Amino acid sequence: MKMDVTVIIPMFNAEKTIGRCVKSAAGQAVREILLVDDGSEDGTLKEAGKLALQFPEVRILQQKHGGVSRARNLGIRKARGEWILFLDADDSLAEGAVRCLADLVKEHRTDNGENKERDAWIHDLVLDLENEGERVCRKAKEKGNCTARENIAEGTGIRTDACCGRVVRGNMPAALAGCACRYFAEKHDLLNYVLEAPTDRLTIHGWMFRRCICTEQEIFFQPELRLGEDSDWVLRYLSACHGAVFTERPVYQYTISPDSAVHRWKPGQTEGYLEMLEMVGSTPASRERNWPLFVLTNLLLILTHDTFHPANPAGRRRQIREAARLRNLPVFAEAFEKADLSGLDGKKRIVLQCMKSGRILPVWAAVKIRQMQNAGHAK
């Protein structure tokens, strides 16, 4: 039985990965898969054409090169499913992913069969699909307690030590049937939950969104944003929806490589983050208790991806002076004044406390250590 879900896949020069990506979605019994080509200059469209012949649910849309936000917006406007699910062309859906989310829809229906109170269905775990056949829990790695790695043949298992406390074998929905869910009916609780840990929770990947909320309330991606467009979009969506369900069930396989945007440096990233904070600052999310934590997390992202990036040609002294300048910008100074850091994990709390007090050198050292760890994961 087909599920009323549209999978939206933006494509740009993705001829090497689009096949694996589409096949992971085509096996999920979804209503349709929209391949939105963003003016690719390689053989992506040719590969997409082959996939459309192989899988009848595939539809191809084309636009001039305008960026991933415009491609996703075109997909939202052309989608036919009740629910939409975004998938990047170099990533894939885990086996049984859509069934996991669809089962949540059925489990949480009201007595009259509707889901009016629940407009987002969200996993609470993103996987890194790194080297061939190796899958490692991202949250476990970030917490530093995923010391062992398993080379697991494609489709046979996922190591999830720190999250579910189990290694999954065989059919994912059945193996994870006991995973806990968290339901948010109160909008303030929902927004504060995602603002508290934005790098984990403010991503569009692995979420299932109600399409009519996007179209009726005109919630589209902002093409002018250079960075943080996911955070902006999700916060505006959650501000408009009635509730959400988070589950521990892993549904999305996220690819990290040395060539990914996370590891590249280019000038102007600081300005991109600041533009995003200014735009999101005009939404209801900016009035929530955990808004300062969201702002300070983005300061750490600026330091990691721009100010202290290994490819940044500025010397250490100049980098530290720039970090001190950022610390004193009104958006960050106000966040430091208001943020409650007590609930953060030890490393993040210590780094932000050092930044708050002006001790920039320990922050520089901590970011460098984290960058080396990230580089090791991507090899």
Give the pLDDT band (50/70/90) at residue 161.
very low
pLDDT score of 379 more than 60 = no
Total residue count of the chain as it appears in this document: 379
Whole-number Å distance between alpha carbons of 187 and 304: 31
pLDDT digits (tens, 9 = 90+) for 360-376: 999 999 999 887 876 66
Asked whether 70 and 10 are in contact (CB, 8 A), the reply is: no
Give the mean model confidence (pLDDT) for residues 38-66.
97
Euclidean distance between CA atoms 128 and 257, whole angstroms: 10
168 pLDDT above the threshold of 70: no
Give the tens place of pLDDT for each residue, 319-351.
Answer: 999 999 999 999 999 999 999 998 888 889 999
What is the C-alpha separation between 30 and 25, in angstroms, rounded?
8
Q: φ, ψ for residue 128 (rounded to 5)?
A: -95, 120
Task: Establish how many alpha carbons lie within 13 A of residue 272's alpha carbon, considering only the half-sphere containing its beta carbon.
Answer: 21
Q: What residues have CB less than 8 Å from 127, skipping those under 6 apart?
A: 94, 135, 136, 137, 138, 158, 250, 252, 253, 254
Residue 221 — pLDDT band, cuts 50, 70, 90?
very high
Mean pLDDT of the chain: 80
In this predicted structure, what is the pLDDT of residue 95?
83
pLDDT tens for 174-199 read 434 445 677 787 889 989 999 998 98
CA dist., res. 96 & res. 168, Å (int): 13
3-state SS, residue 97: helix
Instruction: Return the percentage of the chain with pLDDT > 90, whole number.
Output: 54
Residue 295 is predicted with a pLDDT of 97
Res. 219: pLDDT tops 90: yes
Q: Which residues pair with 60 in a beta bridge?
A: 35
Radius of gyration, alpha carbons of the chain: 21
| Cα separation, 199 vs 170, whole angstroms | 29
In the predicted model, what is the mean pLDDT of residues 56-65? 97
Q: pLDDT category, 247, cuts 50, 70, 90?
A: confident
Supply the pLDDT for residue 312: 92
Domains of the chain: 3-254 (3.90.550.10), 269-378 (no CATH)
What confidence score (pLDDT) does residue 154 get? 32
Of 221 and 369, the one with more pLDDT = 221
- pLDDT exceeds cutoff 90 at 31: yes
Mean pLDDT is lowest, of 21-25, 66-70, 114-118, 283-287, for 114-118
The runs of H, that is alpha helices, within the chain are 18-26, 44-54, 68-78, 97-107, 138-143, 172-175, 187-196, 198-201, 211-216, 229-240, 269-280, 291-302, 316-327, 330-338, 346-356, 360-378
| Window from 114-123, 176-185, 266-275, 360-369 with minimum mean pLDDT | 114-123
Q: According to the model, what pLDDT value does residue 167 have?
A: 29
The predicted pLDDT at position 30 comes to 93
90-99, 178-187, 208-217: segment of lowest average pLDDT: 178-187
pLDDT value of residue 258: 55
